[in-house]
Amino acid sequence: MIRLVRAELLKVFTTRMVWGMLALSLCFTAIGLVALSVLSGGPGAPALTEPDGVRNLFSQAGSGLVFAFVIGTLMITGEYRFQTITYTFLVTPRRERVIAAKLMTCAVVGLLFGLAGIALAFAVGIPALLIKGASLSLIGGDVARVCAGVAAAMALYTILGLALGSLLRNQVAAIVVGVAWVYVLESLLVALLPSVGKWLPGGAAQAVYGVSSPLGGDYLPAWAGAALLVGYAAAFAIVASATTIRRDIT
């Protein structure tokens, strides 16, 4: 299994797509951090001198969730697109081992995306706090929980992307469906109908971050949000694994 995971990691990190997705993820994170730093203290935006404002600021480390999702999708749909999946299964006929290795690889890649976003959040967030006159003592347990949530959410969204790609197979369709879901439907439901959106992956991620709903609704507790995210990833992974193992790949 270790060799399979190494092989999958080699596939990912020797292609330009992962670095492009990482760059885009960090760009979105930087935009979110700068925007929130400038707008903090305004209507509906807690000041950076308050714990809520600090949590919201560092939660921007997860702004690139959609790119973690997309890289997970590309990891499997690219194999179907270029028919390298045939050689992969010929080398390792036990397909469940291949899928397990890909899932582990997704978790590693997503975790790295999360850690990169967290590093950028500290690089931008600390100067922003100092400029706003906030105390660095506000960076404590709450921020650590937010950062842990960002890393976990990135890993799980990458797995969700792999699961969707396994089900749809078509690269363009999987990316369009995934981006439309994350950026449009899910974002609207989480923002405008938090009572519904809190049960979706995006709402669960917000609960893990520990941020407040923009309309004053309540998200799930952090532990419940984490459990829900894990449940989504597990359910999608099981369905994707079952269909990939049984389906004809030609």
Domain boundaries, the chain: 2-246
- Check pLDDT > 90 for residue 26: yes
Between these two residues, 154 and 201, which has the higher pLDDT value?
154
Q: Supply the pLDDT for residue 214.
A: 57
- Check pLDDT > 80 for residue 41: no
Highest mean pLDDT (candidates 22-31, 140-149, 179-188, 210-219): 22-31
Alpha-carbon distance 161 to 137, whole Å? Answer: 37
Q: What is the pLDDT of residues 72-126, one digit of tens each?
A: 898 888 877 777 777 777 777 677 788 888 888 988 999 999 999 999 999 998 8
* Contacts made by residues 126-135, CB under 8 angstroms, sequence distance 24+: 128/33, 128/37, 128/48, 128/57, 129/48, 129/54, 129/57, 131/37, 132/37, 132/40, 132/41, 132/47, 132/48, 132/49, 133/49, 134/47, 134/48, 134/49, 134/53, 134/54, 135/49
Q: Supply the pLDDT for residue 245.
A: 63
